[in-house]
Amino acid sequence: MKTPYKNIYNVLKLNRFIVLAVVVCALLSSTFSVWMAFNTNKNAMNSAFAINTDGSIIPLKLVNQKENFKVEALAHLELFHNYFYNIDASNYEKNLKKALWLGNSSVDNLYRQKKADGVYNRLLQYSLVQKVLSIESQITENNGSYSFTTTTIFEINRGSIIDTYELVSTGNLIMVDRNFPNNPHGLLITNYFENTLKKLSDESRKE
């Protein structure tokens, strides 16, 4: 008895279905693999791990990088302005040396200009005390670069006379390697510039 031949169209339809099913399964499998890799990488970027005493791994959730950067940046700016402007005859050399670690050549150039203008000689000659009262900074991000505007209120004690000043300074911040204790926040001030300096009256200070 002869074996009947299958309908060629039915065979082709079955083959086509099998090929399509294999292609669809391959696409789904590839898509799932890519999604898993992306998700794993995302979780790894936002997490850190520590080894417990018993050898188990403990996941530690990191804070958002931008929020963390802002905290570091504000602390860095406060540290710099305290070192650079909170000075007297006994500590100015030590404080300015620390301040120069926190900025680039723009800070060093300003320091040299002040030195050439006799600012620090007058500090010694008249035993002046320059004390920072407050530091307020605003940080702006633009395409991954960071700029700041800082308002520093400080007073100069001349013995019988105390004058209060408001200084507005600007610049940029870039990330560098941490260098403890010289640069604990891993940031560097660039393009530093003292924009305005004005003497405050008693009325404005009360406000």
* Per-residue model confidence as pLDDT tens digits over 160-188: 899 999 999 999 999 999 998 999 999 99
Which of 51-60, 76-85, 96-105, 135-144 has the least mean pLDDT?
51-60
- Give the burial class of 110: count Cβ atoms within 10 A of its Cβ; 0-12 exposed, 13-18 middle, 19 or more buried: middle
Alpha helices in 86-145 (DSSP H): 92-100, 105-116, 119-125
Please give the residue that has the higher pLDDT: either 167 or 36. 167
Q: Which two tokens mark 68?
A: 């963390």
Could you tell me the pLDDT band of residue 97, with boundaries at 50, 70 and 90?
very high
Could you tell me the pLDDT band of residue 63, with boundaries at 50, 70 and 90?
very low
Closest listed residue to residue 170, CA positions, set 144, 197, 199: 197
Q: Are 101 and 183 in contact (CB under 8 A)?
A: yes
Strands (E), the chain: 47-51, 57-61, 87-88, 129-142, 145-157, 162-175, 187-200
